[in-house]
Amino acid sequence: MKLVEPSLSEQTYETLREAILTGRIPGDTLWSDREIAARMQFSRTPIRDAVQRLAAEGLVEVIPRRGTRVLPLRTEDVREIHQIARALELEAATIIARLPERDLSAIEAAVIGMEEAIARADREEWVVADAAFHHAVVHGCGNGRLARLYDAQRSLTDRARYFALYLRELPVRSAEEHREMLNAIKVCDATRLATLYREHWDRTTKELLELVERHGTTVPVKAQ
């Protein structure tokens, strides 16, 4: 076995993506590829490759002969992304509910994790368990494409969730809702599932939007 170094293009992509999603590079920032190339000690080619991938994901916008702009996360974007995520996850949950041989242990474990996190008022643990729940659902339906699409969309709002974590109330209601979702999957009630998902995501969207609006349409710059 040989250790394969990830390509420079891949390294650049990961670095920039992480920096944007955690808010280290604030929205509306304008840069040039030569600037990044100089900073990362690479040539422009792998940087251009990475930037184009980010542009395809909707994180940045390349303006010919002007520069590359980091797109700010607007309230409208959060609304759209959440609608998409809701639709995909509901589809996945419905598929799982109808599977003849389904394994709900991962989802069950996530729900228990959320309940324990709430009981201990541990926000960090809650985030982990929440992510585990959604991950278990979209990755458990047997549709890898759907899972990848979901992850790609949801990560776009990571910027907002990232700084919202400590600004909001303890998500007690959210934990309850996830327990209800699990029950609906168990009894294979598609209509109930649809209702639950609609309510859950509507509430989550509303909460996140309030935070985004209170702090402006862009995410505050975090310390480097």
Footprint of DNA (CB under 7 A): 7-9, 31-35, 42-46, 48-49, 62-68
Residue span binding its own copies (CB under 8 A) among the ranges 27-35, 89-97, 112-120, 176-184: 89-97
Of DNA, its own copies, none, which one does residue 95 interact with (CB within 5 to 8 Å by kind)? its own copies
SS3 30: strand
Q: In whole angstroms, what is the distance from residue 79 CA to residue 63 CA? A: 25
User: Of 109, 102, 161, nearest to 135 (Cα)?
Assistant: 109
Binding its own copies by CB under 8 A: which of 1, 5, 65, 145?
145
Q: Which is nearer to DNA, 2 or 214 (CB)?
A: 2
Q: Which is nearer to its own copies, 20 or 88 (CB)?
A: 88
Of its own copies, DNA, none, which one does residue 190 interact with (CB within 5 to 8 Å by kind)? its own copies
SS3 122: coil
3-state secondary structure 58-109: CCEEEECCCEEEECCCCHHHHHHHHHHHHHHHHHHHHHHHHCCCCCCHHHHH
Q: Is 194 in the site for its own copies (CB under 8 A)?
A: yes
Q: Is 176 in the site for its own copies (CB under 8 A)?
A: no
Q: In whole angstroms, what is the distance from residue 82 CA to residue 209 CA? A: 11
φ, ψ for residue 61, nearest 5 deg: -130, 125
Of its own copies, DNA, none, which one does residue 66 interact with (CB within 5 to 8 Å by kind)? DNA
Which residues form the interface with its own copies (CB under 8 A)? 7, 48-49, 52-53, 56, 58, 64, 77, 79-81, 83-84, 86-88, 90-91, 95, 143-146, 149, 153, 190-191, 194
